[in-house]
């Protein structure tokens, strides 16, 4: 297996599309754009080698982020199919052993996603074993408030309204702002964090979550430790996006309407919210049993 960089592999694949496969110029341009965009996203996560692209850590989160950004399902499907084709080519060239996008699917509107979600008990276990107070509170915001990781890391001191028990998300996806209520434990935890657990800095930062050196916490740092904790405690890896899914699913399973959940998540459409929900088998059975009365 060669240690080829993702960008070099993309260059060779695009050349193959033009020379051997004789694809139309418009098709080649589309493939190149999609693949380069993916490479840039991977670079942000410190992934430069093709062999380091993983199914759970990168492939499923890539699809989830596209849907999260309110791209149409057809557009997301095109992106995923492009990555599948590229990865199949890479397998054929012997650059990687298996296609990380092989099981990443985009279904029709209203269908359920196949990615993971966790129960409240599993969330509690992850929280208990968080490596430090900063990660604990970031994980907690994902599981108890459903914020995107980018929204969590952009929170400033002024965005935590303890008086009204809300988090203020400024200019989320689509430049939309929203207010999200805090659970009691999130309220108490953030109070304690800001009072005594947040790193002490020589020159303070307006951001809630910072590293000891004063820099903002980065998403790859959060996901690296979340994968580590979840693999150790749950026997499978999750990312911060799974916490957001779990927040939505838990609310839905407790009877909260999709309209309200959609507003809390900052979605422009309830159709997008439906893709987040992982309805439990037990709830399905209870729901269908109504027809037996």
> What distance in Å separates the CA atoms of residue 263 and residue 228, rounded to the nearest whole number?
31
Catalytic site residue from 58, 84, 245, 267: 267
DSSP per-residue letters across 226-248? HHHHHHHHHSS---HHHHHHHHH
Residue 267 bears catalytic tag: yes
Establish whether 241 is a catalytic residue: yes
CB 209 within 8 Å of CB 217 = yes
167 close to 180: Cβ distance less than 8 angstroms: yes
Q: Which two tokens stand for residue 33?
A: 């754009």
Q: Which of 148, 198, 227, 245 is catalytic?
A: 148
244 part of the active site? yes
148 is catalytic: yes
Structure tokens at 190: 């953030």
From the list 254, 256, 229, 257, the residue with the least C-alpha distance to 243 is 229
Dist. CA 44–CA 235, nearest whole Å: 26
Select which of 13, 193, 276, 278 is catalytic: 276
Give the DSSP letter string of 93-126: TTS-SS-TTTT-----TTPPP-S----HHHHHHH
Contact present, 54 and 253 (Cβ < 8 Å)? no
Instruction: Kindly report the backbone phi and psi dihedral angles of residue 231, in degrees, each rounded to the nearest multiple of 5, phi listed first.
Output: -65, -40
Among 63, 84, 198, 244, the active-site one is 244
CA distances from 81 to 52, 76, 95 (A): 20, 9, 19
Of 58, 84, 113, 241, the catalytic one is 241
- The separation between CA 38 and the C-alpha centre of its own chain, rounded to angstroms, equals 15
For the chain, counts of helices (H) and of strands (E): 13, 3
Is 31 a known active-site residue?
no
CA distance 175 to 153: 16
- Residue 59: count of CB within 10 angstroms of its CB: 23
Q: Which of 173, 178, 187, 218 is catalytic?
A: 173
Catalytic positions: 148, 173, 241, 244, 267, 276
């Amino acid at each position: 297996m060669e240690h080829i960089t993702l960008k070099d592999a993309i260059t060779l694949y695009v050349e193959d599309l033009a020379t051997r496969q004789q694809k139309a110029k418009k098709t080649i341009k589309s493939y190149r754009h999609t693949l380069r965009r993916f490479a840039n996203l991977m670079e942000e996560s410190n992934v430069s080698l093709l062999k380091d692209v993983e199914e759970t850590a990168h492939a499923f989160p890539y699809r989830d982020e596209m849907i999260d950004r309110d791209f149409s399902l057809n557009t997301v499907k095109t992106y995923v199919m492009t990555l599948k084709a590229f990865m199949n080519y890479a397998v054929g060239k012997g650059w990687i052993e298996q296609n990380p996008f092989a099981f990443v699917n985009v279904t029709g509107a209203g269908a359920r996603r196949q990615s993971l979600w966790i129960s409240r008990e599993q969330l509690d276990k992850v929280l208990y074993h968080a490596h430090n107070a900063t990660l604990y509170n970031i994980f907690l915001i994902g599981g108890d408030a459903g914020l995107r990781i980018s929204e969590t890391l952009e929170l400033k001191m002024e965005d935590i309204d303890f008086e009204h028990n809300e988090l203020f998300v400024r200019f989320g996806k689509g430049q939309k702002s929203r207010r999200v209520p805090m659970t009691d434990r999130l309220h108490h935890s953030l109070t304690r964090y800001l009072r005594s657990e947040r790193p002490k800095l020589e020159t303070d930062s307006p951001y809630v979550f910072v590293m000891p050196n004063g820099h903002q916490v980065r998403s790859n740092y959060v996901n690296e430790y979340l994968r580590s904790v979840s693999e150790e405690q749950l026997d499978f890896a999750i990312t911060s996006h799974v916490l957001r899914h779990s927040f939505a699913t838990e609310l839905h399973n407790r009877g909260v309407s999709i309209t309200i959940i959609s507003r809390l998540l900052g979605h422009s459409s309830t159709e997008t919210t439906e893709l987040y929900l992982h309805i439990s088998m037990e709830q399905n059975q209870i729901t269908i049993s109504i027809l037996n009365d």
